[in-house]
């Protein structure tokens, strides 16, 4: 079984997207769901979400510090991006997964995440 760090991005002090959805609320729902699914499958999953950082830099530093306290196989950061206007060209919304390196173990998993979410109707913006 694997060990995972999972966190929702941003916080109420330094929120992310807010036009189409409330990113802080939604990414925490997704974070809780991902952790529950991992644990139900026998994995260890830690919630490394930060709710106290007062700047974007402090928020990220707090997340990194929490993640670094665990020896994890994978760090999963949950975000939703939103644009005020979407031309329908797939450039402003959809699913994308960022990895540290295309040669990392996470690269294949990232492709599967994109494909699964695209099957639900999201534009697949790919692994980056």
Shared-domain flag, residues 50 and 69? yes
- Residue percentage of the chain with pLDDT more than 70: 91
pLDDT at residue 59 greater than cutoff 70: yes
Number of domains in the chain: 2
Shared-domain flag, residues 65 and 101? no
pLDDT of residue 91: 66
Concatenate the DSSP letters of all residues of 67-124 into one string: HTTS--SEEEEE-----S---SSSSSSSEEE--S-TTSTHHHHHHHHHHHHHHTT--E
pTM of the model: 0.85
Shared-domain flag, residues 37 and 65? yes
Query: Residue 124: which domain range?
Result: 92-128
């Amino acid at each position: 079984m694997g060990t995972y760090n999972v966190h929702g991005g941003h916080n109420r002090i330094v929120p992310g997207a807010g036009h189409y959805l409330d990113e802080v609320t939604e990414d925490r729902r997704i974070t809780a769901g991902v952790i529950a699914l991992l644990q139900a499958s026998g994995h260890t999953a830690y919630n490394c979400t930060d709710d106290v950082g007062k700047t974007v830099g402090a928020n990220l530093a707090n997340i990194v510090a929490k993640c670094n306290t665990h020896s994890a196989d994978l760090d999963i950061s949950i975000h939703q991006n939103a644009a005020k206007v979407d031309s329908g060209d797939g450039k402003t919304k959809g699913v994308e997964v960022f990895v540290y390196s295309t040669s990392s173990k996470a690269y294949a998993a990232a492709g599967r995440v994109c494909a699964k979410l695209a099957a639900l109707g999201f534009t697949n913006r790919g692994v980056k």
